[in-house]
Structure 1
Amino acid sequence: MRSRHVSRVIAASPEAVYAFASNPDNLPRWAAGLTTADVVRDGDVLVVDSPMGTVTVRFAPPNEYGVIDHDVTLPSGTTVTNPLRVLAHPEGAEIVFTIRQLDLTVDEFDRDTAAVERDLERLKELLETRP
């Protein structure tokens, strides 16, 4: 199983990046690989309509370390853990998403990587153009 780390440096404080990226209400604005529709809360679980179908998402509890790890339970019942971190960077913050190949073909792994790259680029654009 291979892993890839996709990251973007964002000209904003780590605290601002964490606050925006960890807020489920903001997911449709930047995480098209996960959802483009409003998030429904069911306790501490989120239910979202994703490109993969309806999935549930459980995020790590709020923390001061920039950890936004989240487990996504797919329609098949398989749960995928997605490590996501916001790190301090000399130019602001760096957000790092780890993608694991697991049962994916090479083409699917490449497709998922490209989707994460687009999502992180959109996050960067949103945070760098906010007033």
Structure 2
Amino acid sequence: MRSRHLSVVVAADPAAVYAFASDVANLPKWAAGLAQAEVVPVGDLLKVDSPMGPVTVRFVPRNEFGVLDHDVTLPSGETVTNPIRVLAHPEGAEVVFTIRQLNLSDDEFERDADMVAQDLERLRALCEEQCS
């Protein structure tokens, strides 16, 4: 199983980037690989229409450390943990997302990595526009 850390540097305050990224109402704006429509909170879970079909998402509680880890329960019932960090960076903030191959083929893993990179780029653009 391979892991890959994808990151983007955002020219905005790390706390503002974290606040934007952790607001579930913003997920469809930047996380197209996860949310394609409105996110519906149900208790501490989120019901999301994703490219994979309906999924549930559980984020770690908001925190002062920039941790946005979340578990995604896929339509198959499998749960995937996605570590994300918003870190201070000399140019503002750096958002780091770790993807794991798990039982994906090499082609699926590369496709997943490309989708996450696009999501991070959308997050960067939105935060540089709205979080500065």
TM range (shorter): over 0.9
Number of residue pairs aligned between Structure 1 and Structure 2 = 131
Counterpart in the other structure of 2:41: 41
Offset at 1:34?
A: 0.2
Counterpart of 1:125, as a letter, is A
Counterpart in the other structure of 1:67: 67
Offset at 1:98?
A: 0.1
Return the alpha-carbon distance in structure 2 between the equivalents of residues 36 and 49 of structure 1: 6
Return the alpha-carbon distance in structure 1 between the equivalents of residues 40 and 26 of structure 2: 12
* Structure 2 gap ranges (5+): none
Counterpart of 2:51, as a letter, is P
Offset at 1:86?
A: 0.3
Return the alpha-carbon distance in structure 2 between the equivalents of residues 114 and 62 of structure 1: 27
Counterpart of 1:123, as a letter, is L
Counterpart in the other structure of 1:4: 4
SS state at 1:99 partner: strand
Q: How does 1:97-108 map to 2 (within 5 A)?
A: 97-108=97-108
Offset at 1:129?
A: 1.5
SS state at 1:16 partner: helix
Return the alpha-carbon distance in structure 2 between the equivalents of residues 78 and 129 of structure 1: 36
SS state at 1:72 partner: strand
Offset at 1:36?
A: 1.7
Offset at 1:11?
A: 0.3
Return the alpha-carbon distance in structure 2 between the equivalents of residues 22 and 129 of structure 1: 17
Return the alpha-carbon distance in structure 2 between the equivalents of residues 97 and 68 of structure 1: 9
Q: How does 1:20-99 map to 2 (within 5 A)?
A: 20-99=20-99
Return the alpha-carbon distance in structure 2 between the equivalents of residues 123 and 63 of structure 1: 19
Counterpart in the other structure of 2:18: 18
Return the alpha-carbon distance in structure 1 between the equivalents of residues 40 and 34 of structure 2: 13
Counterpart in the other structure of 1:110: 110
Return the alpha-carbon distance in structure 2 between the equivalents of residues 90 and 36 of structure 1: 33
Superposed CA deviations along residues 66-120 of structure 1, whole A, max 9, x for unmatched, are 0000000000000000000000000000000000000000000000000000000
SS state at 1:127 partner: helix
Please give the root-mean-square deviation of Cα atoms over the aligned residues, in Å: 0.7
Counterpart of 2:48, as a letter, is V
